[in-house]
Structure 1
């Protein structure tokens, strides 16, 4: 039993999995933050463009 516990403590395979989970969560978090920023900017730009186009008179020469 002591040999099993000693081998279990030396085994680091699970630690690599935990590292990848943490890194993946960080990448997903950054992607969500970037998406939110881009969405906010494009919504504002679309609104400004809509206002500008609505103010134009198509009957002018």
Structure 2
């Protein structure tokens, strides 16, 4: 969870730099957004797997 917080902070800083015209590498914004999405996907997959395991355990 700490990593996603760091990425969100970096994205905020990149957006601020973009708004003030100081952003040198605009592709980094897209890269950070993709990294956040990847982490959220992994967290959701784990959540679904845990729910399925709990359901399977209750049905046994």
TM category, shorter: 0.5 to 0.7
RMSD, matched Cα: 1.2
Larger Rg: 1
Aligned length: 38
Point out where structure 1 has 5 or more consecutive residues left out of the alignment: 1-9, 48-61
TM score, norm. by length of structure 2: 0.58
Point out where structure 2 has 5 or more consecutive residues left out of the alignment: 1-22
Structure 1 ranges of 4+ moved more than 3 A: none
TM score, norm. by length of structure 1: 0.57
